Structure 1
């Protein structure tokens, strides 16, 4: 077999340059967050000495919003997986009529613009008293998490060998027991993948958060940053510190779950 020709240093240098270009906004965000108040635009390339005043102001002003986003994101993960896992198993393993139509409907829901859903939910939430509530935001964000989780988990569950499920049934396990004790443990990668993306959907949501919250009672961090820009334009260090804090949970989650996400996203593609 012929060896593939080496790409050499030029390709490596181009890759490093592209990576540096993509990471530069992140570097500047961290750099600006460590600058003294009012000195962001005149700050140097390295914040020496670093000033943590921006982070103190961010935690003081936006700490509650960070907690709200965390509650909504985790709630959306629990609700989405609780609904999507049994639905995906049913669509993957049970000979149901109209399965293809159901899958088509699930895909269509992903194509509906979020602004349309938000406007429809606003009037409904107003009648039900769900505006400015954690439950309302969790339900709204789950409209994006549930369809995606069903698609991911169904593809994985279809790749589980039927012999494993039949062996559990022969041993006397009920369908529910098979699902709980056999299918779910085998689908760990798909579950983690769906959970990660659902968390990111809810954590980064702005449209639902802006439309369905009108007070400071429940205000996710995305709306908090949006309103922070207008109220604190002279405190760019606090603003950038808020964005750094808002990026930490998603970054840590992706780093920790990276190998599960890669495996879960590709599992089921090849049988």
Structure 2
């Protein structure tokens, strides 16, 4: 009876998923379509070609490498700041932790465009425009508040008995942090790392604002604009670049999804 009454939900879910995935299919379709046939709007690439990918691999690999480097550096910096901060807020009960938690929420409410203008003024004075450290630091400002709050929520649920037992055995706070807290926080760490990577990977606002015009450290999101002109748009190479840029993020999502599912709900339910 239950099976008969819920079959329509499965069908509805499949239909909605297909609708949401259609733009992705269309992106792939256009990336394999010849320039002369793009405007025909065929549902499959009748004028099949791989020329768009050949061109993109020649043009966009430096930008792709920059995006990968920036994203991984952003993950490392985010974890380096968020892990000890969350440990202090959740388990050490440092003075002012409540105020700091509130400020983290406020920090997430600040529009990125406002932050980008402030970064531009500071970077212009320090000579950090169009540099790897500058872009990594800017992207990390989006990921760090979220990372600290998520990790704090999880670490607060770690049984105090584990830490007390380690303390009785002579483990210092630093030893407890590396030997107990970090291993137990694996799912949340993977979740935070994935979100930090995706935020950095998809960043366009900071990349475009903090670019001095030289284009030496442009990520793949800026590389897309090589195919957008004032009068014409090269849709084939543009879509091929989008497909290429989607591959690393897709691979990470596939392999990390079980950790993300556990990490997002971590700390939501406590005994």
Q: CA deviation at 1:263?
A: 0.2
Give the CA deviation at 1:52.
Answer: 1.2
Give distance in 2, aligned partners of 1:234 and 1:180. 51
Q: Distance between the aligned counterparts of 2:110 and 2:41, measured in 1?
A: 44
Q: 1:178 matched to which residue of 2? A: 176
Q: Distance in 1 between matches of 2:44 and 2:51?
A: 16
CA distance in 2, matches of 1:27, 1:109: 36
Give the 5 Å matches for 1:5-84: 6-42=4-40, 44-48=42-46, 50-84=48-82
Query: How far did residue 127 of structure 1 move?
Result: 1.0
User: Which 4+ stretches in 1 moved above 6 angstroms?
Assistant: none
In 1: Cα distance, 2:196 partner to 2:6 partner: 39
Matched-pair contact (CA < 8 Å) for 1:130–1:136: yes
Matched residue count: 269
Query: 1:106·1:147 contact (CA, 8 Å) conserved in 2?
Result: yes
Contact in 2 for aligned 1:69/1:221 (Cα 8 Å)? yes
Are 2:263 and 1:264 equivalent residues in the alignment? yes
Shift of 1:233: 3.9
**Cα displacement string for residues 68-119 of structure 1 (whole angstroms, at most 9, x for unaligned residues):** 1111111100000000000000000112222111100000000001111110
Compared with structure 1, are the counterparts of its residues 233 and 91 closer, same or farther at alpha carbon in structure 2 (3 Å cutoff)? same
Is contact 1:38-1:236 (8 Å) kept?
no
What residue number does 2:109 align with? Answer: 111
Partner of 1:88: 86
Q: 1:43 to 1:53 in 2, by over 3 A?
A: farther
How far apart are 1:236 and its partner, in Å? 1.8
Counterpart contact for 1:33–1:238, Cα < 8 Å: yes
Which whole-Å deviations, capped at 9, do the CAs of 1:156-214 have from their partners, x for residues lacking one?
A: 11111111111111122111111011110110001000000000110001110000012
Quick one: distance in 2 between partners of 1:55 and 1:5? 46
2:234: which partner in 1? 235
1:183-202 aligned within 5 A = 183-202=181-200
What is the TM-score of this pair, normalised by structure 1?
A: 0.94
Q: Where does residue 146 of structure 2 map in the other structure? A: 148
TM-score if structure 2 supplies the norm length? 0.94
Q: Contact 1:38–1:235 (CA<8 Å) still a contact in 2?
A: no
* Shift, 1:6, TM fit: 4.9
In structure 2, runs of 5+ residues without a counterpart are: none
On the 8 A contact 1:88/1:153 being kept in 2, the answer is yes
